Amino acid sequence: MNQTPDIVVEIKDLVKTYHQGTIEVPALRGLTLSVRKGEFLAICGPSGSGKTTTLNLVGALDEPTSGTILLEGQDLGKLGRSALSRLRRDRIGFVFQAYNLVPVLTAYENAEIVMALQGVKASKRRERVMGLLAEVGLKGMEHRRPDQLSGGQQQRVAIARAIAANPAVVLADEPTANVDSETAERLLGLMEGLNRDSGVTFIFSTHDTKVMARARRIITMVDGRVAGDETRGRAA
């Protein structure tokens, strides 16, 4: 499958079937989708439509039953386990609804963890992470552990961690689900600003109308297929 240079993710005929005993449960039924660099894209749809499954497959957290996923032109199905681990570490940022911070690490340590695994020098990590934590509104909170932060502050740390290593794409699975409406708007404004100012590509899975209102492209999924694809103008 050929891929144009500005396509960061390309999905072709993706099928994912789960097995519950002898019962087959189809999650994706031939999904085809392309995402360009710099998009701010929301995948929406009812529960069971395949939103989170799609993100998990693009993030190489799960394997498809059939079909193809290209990330920056690399076919994930042709990569071995160690190569997939490196790709997840280096080219994909993750933001989860449950934050997934390491509880014994500080905000600074959580935000720098990917760069540390990459072997980036401590001085460069410090410059990058301190700048990011200030950018997400956590200056002065670098040494707090997750249990000393609010839910919204924890999600800000997760966003800083997701983009610290300059990934090709950030996958955000229901990132506003566990915060109040005011905090959700702040987080979305933060991610929107990172997308606008730094060109970070975001793909959300969401039920949240606040996310959909800010997205510049909305993919609607029903029963594991694309049921709608709406592109809007760039947000102000």
**CATH number of the domain residue 219 falls in:** 3.40.50.300
pLDDT score for 181? 87
Please report which confidence band the pLDDT of residue 5 belongs to, taking 50, 70 and 90 as the band edges. Answer: low
Is residue 236 included in any domain, yes or no? no
User: For residue 235, is pLDDT > 60?
Assistant: no
Both tokens of 10, joined, read 């390309």
Is residue 218 included in any domain, yes or no? yes
Q: Which residues contact 63 (CB under 8 A, 6 or more apart)?
A: 57, 77
Please report which confidence band the pLDDT of residue 91 belongs to, taking 50, 70 and 90 as the band edges. Answer: very high
User: For residue 67, is pLDDT > 50?
Assistant: yes
Is residue 135 included in any domain, yes or no? yes
Q: Which domain holds residue 91?
A: 7-231
Environment class of 29 (CB within 10 Å of its CB; exposed 0-12, middle 13-18, buried 19+): middle
Both tokens of 104, joined, read 């014994």
Number of domains in the chain: 1
pLDDT score for 3? 54
